[in-house]
Amino acid sequence: MHFLVIFFKHLAFLFVLFEISVARVGFVKDQSTTRIKFPPLIQKLPHGIPTGHLRPFGWHRAPDAPVSEESGMLSPGDFFVNYVKLSKPVVFKGAMKDIPAMENWQRDDYLKKKYGHVQVHVMIKRELLQKGIKKMMMKQFLKQYNFEDWYLSNIIPQEMMHELVLPTCLKCDFMKSLQEAEIWMSSGGTVSLLHSHADHNLHCVMAGRKDFILIDPRHKKKAYYVPKRPHEGTGYCDLGDLDKLNMYKFSSLAEVPWIWSTLEPGDCIFIPATYLHQVRSYGRSFSFTILWARIPNTDFSQCDPKELAQVLPLNKVPFIWTYLHADRELANRNLDQDTVRRHLLVWMRNETGLRYDVFKDYYDEIMSEASKNNRPLFLYTHTIIPNEERLDCKIAWQSVTDGNPKVQEVPRHKISDLPEGNMAYLASVLNKAHEYHGHAPDHPHHDEL
């Protein structure tokens, strides 16, 4: 018996050593938020070497100006008129300092205790070396992220949303086009690609420091931009290693002007849709972003001052997408004709019509996360829709084209005027996918606007 006790004590000790050796592959990452100066001091190189050669992106030329700043948050109407309508970036200084997460989420032990059970997506910090996405429990990420080259990138899980609030500038008519809210967490040292989104983006920092480089989309050709279909404005710049930029190969970057901002905790930055941007983080970094679509006919004349003054937690906000069961899915899983019509109008952004490829992107997104990994469209985690119940996207498209399979684009006004029966049919098809996905019907969901 004594021998067994000693054996199991040694076994437990070896298990702990193994766990540490697997989890902690390196040293604790640099947590400094002040060591790196930004924007950098640009110096000309000798012997005709291009400025910024083999240096990080941002050293290739001096910035033109800082991003415009506002002290605190603007009203939705002022925000729209002065910045969104003009596609002009802006920083709101100290605008989110009073939200619950600003205090609570500063401590990893708090996050581990309350949300350690939540499954999250984790990626490699340097996107050039990205090998894919890992799924793990929040507690595992918190245990190891100071030692690994990881960052958490996720739609905000439902369990965490009540501690974040909707910025005042995104209330009123903006709420009709809210797509999703995301969280980002790392131990610093993250470097994004130079990229753009089809949607507007408000990025708010809760911990650490983030440096932003922004470039007007008019210069994307000289920035070696690669568009990503089907949504206009989504893409990235193919520049190789952004920590060691090859200015001989990418010489036209010297002609591309850029503006900059450094965000501290409580600050938010508005990045207009299609704007090129790169982000670097320093220290223990935690932030959240809200994405909303560009849609025409936005009206802020009916904003209720009392509604603007109320604090609105994100779990009460009618986003189109949410995060449940460790996957991105529709926030409303009981679609009706009005909700589907709203989704289609938002999904086409500011385009004059809904193209088939954009509709297919929406359809596939709802039908299966598996379709993004080149697996069969109707293959789900636990079950497969029977052959006789499968509905091809082209058939579903006819509910939008009013029965004409040859139409490749439907004007916006026709989407608005489609018969309720057409939209109700499409809603029933999409709802069926959720039934097969194994989701219980009694999960709480948001009412759609």
> 346 is in which domain, residue-wise?
332-436
Give 319-375 pLDDT, tens digit per residue.
Answer: 999 987 778 888 887 899 999 999 999 999 999 999 999 999 999 888 764 344 333
pLDDT for residue 333: 77
Question: How far is 351 from 348, CA to CA, in rounded Å?
Answer: 6
Q: Which of 258, 290, 316 is the last residue before a domain boundary?
A: 316
Within this chain, do residues 182 and 254 fall inside the same structural domain, yes or no? Answer: yes
Give 378-392 pLDDT, tens digit per residue.
Answer: 333 333 344 444 568
Highest mean pLDDT among 14-28, 205-219, 296-310: 205-219
CB 154, CB 183: distance < 8 Å: yes
Q: Write the burial class of residue 107 (CB in 10 Å: 0-12 exposed, 13-18 middle, 19+ buried).
A: exposed
Q: Which of the pair, 400 or 5, is modelled with greater confidence?
A: 400
In a domain, 20, yes or no: no
Q: How confident is the model at residue 27 (pLDDT cuts 50, 70, 90)?
A: low
Within this chain, do residues 367 and 289 fall inside the same structural domain, yes or no? Answer: no
Alpha carbon distances (Å) from 428 to 339, 346, 358:
12, 19, 20
Within this chain, do residues 425 and 310 fall inside the same structural domain, yes or no? Answer: no
Q: Which of 316, 347, 365 is the last residue before a domain boundary?
A: 316
Phi, psi of 49 (to 5 degrees): -70, 130
In a domain, 198, yes or no: yes
Q: How confident is the model at residue 3 (pLDDT cuts 50, 70, 90)?
A: low
Query: DSSP letter at 313?
Result: B
CB 317, CB 175: distance < 8 Å: yes
In a domain, 278, yes or no: yes
In a domain, 447, yes or no: no
> In sequence order, which residues have a C-beta less than 8 Å from that of residue 4 and are 6 or more positions away?
none
Within this chain, do residues 226 and 109 fall inside the same structural domain, yes or no? Answer: yes
Question: How far is 289 from 285, CA to CA, in rounded Å?
Answer: 13
pLDDT for residue 8: 46
436: pLDDT strictly greater than 60: no
In a domain, 18, yes or no: no
pLDDT above 70: percentage of residues in the chain = 82
Question: What tokens does 390 get?
Answer: 């499968």
Phi, psi of 40 (to 5 degrees): -70, 160
Within this chain, do residues 208 and 308 fall inside the same structural domain, yes or no? Answer: yes
Over residues 306-312, mean pLDDT = 92
Q: How many domains does the chain have?
A: 2
Distance of CA 32 to the CA centre of its chain: 25
In a domain, 443, yes or no: no
Question: How far is 10 from 411, CA to CA, in rounded Å?
Answer: 71
CB 227, CB 185: distance < 8 Å: no
Q: Which of 364, 320, 366, 359 is nearest to 339 (CA)?
A: 320
Within this chain, do residues 206 and 348 fall inside the same structural domain, yes or no? Answer: no
Tell me how far apart the terminal alpha carbons of the chain are, to the nearest angstrom: 68
**For residues 327-355, b (16+ Cβ closer than 10 Å) or e, as one string?**
bbbbbbbebebebbbbbbbbbbbebeebb
Q: Tokens 């290739």 — which residue?
A: 60
CB 215, CB 256: distance < 8 Å: yes
Answer positive or negative: Cα dihedral of 427, 430, 434, 435.
positive
pLDDT for residue 13: 44
Distance of CA 57 to the CA centre of its chain: 22
Within this chain, do residues 421 and 293 fall inside the same structural domain, yes or no? Answer: no
CB 297, CB 157: distance < 8 Å: no
Within this chain, do residues 273 and 390 fall inside the same structural domain, yes or no? Answer: no
Within this chain, do residues 154 and 233 fall inside the same structural domain, yes or no? Answer: yes
CB 320, CB 449: distance < 8 Å: no
In a domain, 15, yes or no: no
Answer positive or negative: Cα dihedral of 22, 25, 27, 33.
negative
CB 146, CB 28: distance < 8 Å: yes
Over residues 298-309, mean pLDDT = 90
* pTM for the full predicted model: 0.86
Q: In a 3-state reduction of DSSP, which class is residue 92?
A: strand
Give 102-142 pLDDT, tens digit per residue.
Answer: 999 999 999 999 999 999 999 876 654 455 678 999 999 99
In a domain, 26, yes or no: no
Within this chain, do residues 296 and 367 fall inside the same structural domain, yes or no? Answer: no
pLDDT for residue 430: 85
pLDDT for residue 368: 65
Tell me the residue length of the chain: 449
Within this chain, do residues 304 and 399 fall inside the same structural domain, yes or no? Answer: no
Within this chain, do residues 294 and 361 fall inside the same structural domain, yes or no? Answer: no
Give 389-423 pLDDT, tens digit per residue.
Answer: 456 888 899 999 988 889 999 999 999 999 999 99
Q: Which of 24-28, 74-78, 276-280, 281-285 has the lowest mean pLDDT?
A: 24-28
Alpha carbon distances (Å) from 306 to 77, 116, 174, 302, 311:
15, 37, 17, 12, 10
Over residues 285-307, mean pLDDT = 93
Q: What is the domain-level CATH number for residue 281?
A: 2.60.120.650
Give 247-256 pLDDT, tens digit per residue.
Answer: 999 999 999 9
Q: Which of 316, 346, 380 is the last residue before a domain boundary?
A: 316
